[in-house]
């Protein structure tokens, strides 16, 4: 699992959590894979807090495995999970 700042953020602090193992959607991920993503969220939040002053957070998983990968909408890449510090 790794996380990075979004290159084209919706808001400052928009981060992506990306599993190393490719799956077509969140629902195709193993239970362990889903748990690992969820365990990473607080770590990413700490980095957002250290670098930004968000008023709140949106956490989302996009895609159903048809036209998107199992996370943030990035076609042809690994599924990701987004954590956005909202202003």
What is the per-residue pLDDT across 4-33, written as a single tens digit (0 to 9) for each? Answer: 888 888 788 888 888 888 887 788 889 998
Q: What is the pLDDT of residue 84?
A: 53
| Domain boundaries, position 33 | 2-86
Q: How confident is the model at residue 85 (pLDDT cuts 50, 70, 90)?
A: low
Q: What is the pLDDT of residue 46?
A: 92
Taking the CA atoms of 13, 29, 70 and 56 in sequence, report the sign of the dihedral they define. Answer: negative
Q: What is the pLDDT of residue 10?
A: 79
pLDDT tops 80 at residue 76: no
Q: What is the pLDDT of residue 62?
A: 64
Q: Please give the tally of structural domains in the chain.
A: 1
73 and 25 Cβ atoms separated by less than 8 Å: no
CATH number, position 45? 3.30.428.10
């Amino acid at each position: 699992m790794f996380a990075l700042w979004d290159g084209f953020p919706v808001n400052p602090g928009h981060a992506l959590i990306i599993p190393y193992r490719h799956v077509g959607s969140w629902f195709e991920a193993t239970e362990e894979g889903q748990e690992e993503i969820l365990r990473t969220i607080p770590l990413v939040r700490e980095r957002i807090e250290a670098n930004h002053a968000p008023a709140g957070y949106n956490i989302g998983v996009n895609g159903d495995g048809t036209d998107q990968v199992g996370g943030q909408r990035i076609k042809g890449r690994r599924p990701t999970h987004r954590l956005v510090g909202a202003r």
